[in-house]
Structure 1
């Protein structure tokens, strides 16, 4: 859930920055601010249509990230058209009059046609638009996520190459031939756009609970790495041809070949490293999940070990622990402690005549009635063995215990479980023995049980369906 929220925040934040970038450059065109349009007078201006493209891409990402898929779908179509028509103009040498449709351009530094965006800019918008289109459809599958991520990586790669070209002063990295060159802040915008598209694909996969294969991230890095590598190689190679053509100097550009070879190897190694790291993380998560399941199972088993399987109330083992603890506590605080032992009257006859299944049901009903008397957290009802039950009442005196036993016997009698073979009643009844005392130093658990058992024996001797209390 934390990852889900973080991804959503990152995409919304990144899309917000793209929106600010597009609006800032648009504001610069309207106000004549060269600094906002070019950053530096020697740099290429961001064309007005490019700023519109970034505004559209940001709104599409925000819409896709917040369940407004139709907005993303329509904007994606517009971005594809914008990039596609601009590329068509560059390739065929035609003019569709879209370059200055919204703004008459007055800055034409390194611009082949006023207002016309660079071909690598148009290509990046096409990639972004297709990625948005793919991820905006309903019932998206993993293959569509893959397309979205790969196109996002290509977009980020084109922006990264142009940005590196500005840093290294390699003009052919951000400009293709004599055509319009990509602006510096345009390259930064596409780096952010590509990254947001990849993050959005991950966010959407979490949103619909589809797990992306661990190969997706390494594959994205390979696409990004090879895009940067090939574009840089092409830029350096073009620069070499330019020098050779203009000055007649033939040189062996080992840097270009080196970037191509080592860039490709590095991209593959990085992808392998990320794949191994992702695989290790996935295995670690699986191990943690297994450990959590084992721990939960152990806790469940431990809990069951303290419950009686038939009646689902605490068993004798649990009772032994509780009475030992409460006896010590009663002695330390000089509190009274009451123990009640119950026995179902003539249960053997009931079992013999009604069957063991009916006997089990009878014990469950009796256990439930006795367990209802354990009102406080420290009280405990337990099955002592066979048809015998115990009720432990800390801080209860003899009067309290007698009152509770009277209520318990009546509750069981009111169940009206037929028992035609009982000599005490036509229904199932119980006898009870009570031990209530303020424990002394020499008092033991066995003493309490023995006294309660004596009371139970006395109740049976008196005809059953009654209780006898023995105070100690």
Structure 2
């Protein structure tokens, strides 16, 4: 096993725990009315409560990767994200945006409590990765998440809203949402690539 493979494996669980703790912090910030915890940058879009919830569900799925209940955590995140996306483009309100927490911060959030469209897509892709054993496909899906999250982070850096908010009537992706997506997906790509190399005999063990 190469040093990069060992590094990827070593980084996975700390990354998952970091995502879980960050998600818990955001959810607690919503509950406690702590504004800096939900929006990080003054005047910027918040990480929605459901966004933090999906990160938490997927982090638990990752931590329980070898357990039979892993898929249910991933399915829960997938369903919540998919329903949000359906709401966004069907103009039907299923009542899930504020089902767990009433929104009180609305910057760049046309529909209170609703996650950004690509945030929902990102969770769907990551959940799909958790539910598939095909490393090349999973790496491709995670690559899409990294690229879009990276674009959002660049958008915040150069103050170009089009890179983190696809339309004025859609919720913007929060900067810490993009950062968590980038970190989560990068480490998972590294792990899956190392696994794929081992299985195809391209890396000595």
> Structure 2: where are the runs of 5+ without partners?
none
- The structural deviation recorded for 1:90 is 0.7
Match of 2:82 in 1: 84
CA 1:121/1:37 → structure 2, altered by over 3 Å: closer, same or farther?
same
Distance in 2, matches of 1:108 and 1:37, equals 11
Do the aligned partners of 1:148 and 1:197 also contact (CA within 8 Å) in 2? Answer: no
Match of 2:103 in 1: 105
CA 1:47/1:212 → structure 2, altered by over 3 Å: closer, same or farther?
farther
Q: Secondary structure at the match of 1:43?
A: coil
1:121 corresponds to 2:114: no
Q: Which has the higher strand share?
A: 1
- The structural deviation recorded for 1:34 is 0.5
- The structural deviation recorded for 1:81 is 1.1
CA 1:23/1:14 → structure 2, altered by over 3 Å: closer, same or farther?
same
Q: Deviations over 1:18-66 (max 9, x none)?
A: 11210111111111111111112310010000001111121112222xx
1:177 corresponds to 2:178: no
1:400-419 equivalence runs, <5 A: none
1:37-436 equivalence runs, <5 A: 37-64=38-65, 67-68=66-67, 70-135=68-133, 144-178=134-168, 179-205=170-196, 209-211=198-200
- The structural deviation recorded for 1:2 is 6.2
| Moved >6 Å (runs of 4+) | none
Distance in 2, matches of 1:152 and 1:28, equals 28
Do the aligned partners of 2:17 and 2:59 also contact (CA within 8 Å) in 1? Answer: yes
What's the TM-score once normalised by structure 1's chain length? 0.41
Q: Secondary structure at the match of 2:132?
A: helix
Q: How big is the alpha-carbon RMSD for the aligned residues of Structure 1 and Structure 2? A: 1.9
CA 1:86/1:212 → structure 2, altered by over 3 Å: closer, same or farther?
farther
Do the aligned partners of 2:98 and 2:112 also contact (CA within 8 Å) in 1? Answer: yes
- The structural deviation recorded for 1:197 is 2.4
Distance in 2, matches of 1:58 and 1:150, equals 20
Distance in 2, matches of 1:43 and 1:194, equals 23
Aligned residue pairs: how many? 202
Distance in 1, matches of 2:194 and 2:11, equals 10
- The structural deviation recorded for 1:205 is 3.8
CA 1:203/1:15 → structure 2, altered by over 3 Å: closer, same or farther?
farther
What's the TM-score once normalised by structure 2's chain length? 0.91
Higher normalized contact order (CA 8 Å, seq sep 6+, divided by chain length): 2
Distance in 2, matches of 1:193 and 1:97, equals 28
CA 1:159/1:212 → structure 2, altered by over 3 Å: closer, same or farther?
farther
Q: Deviations over 1:162-201 (max 9, x none)?
A: 1110001000100011210000100101101211321332
Distance in 1, matches of 2:112 and 2:151, equals 24
- The structural deviation recorded for 1:71 is 3.1
- The structural deviation recorded for 1:145 is 0.8
State the structure with more CA Rg.
1
Distance in 2, matches of 1:193 and 1:157, equals 13
Do the aligned partners of 1:205 and 1:211 also contact (CA within 8 Å) in 2? Answer: yes
Do the aligned partners of 2:57 and 2:77 also contact (CA within 8 Å) in 1? Answer: yes
CA 1:6/1:91 → structure 2, altered by over 3 Å: closer, same or farther?
same
CA 1:212/1:147 → structure 2, altered by over 3 Å: closer, same or farther?
farther
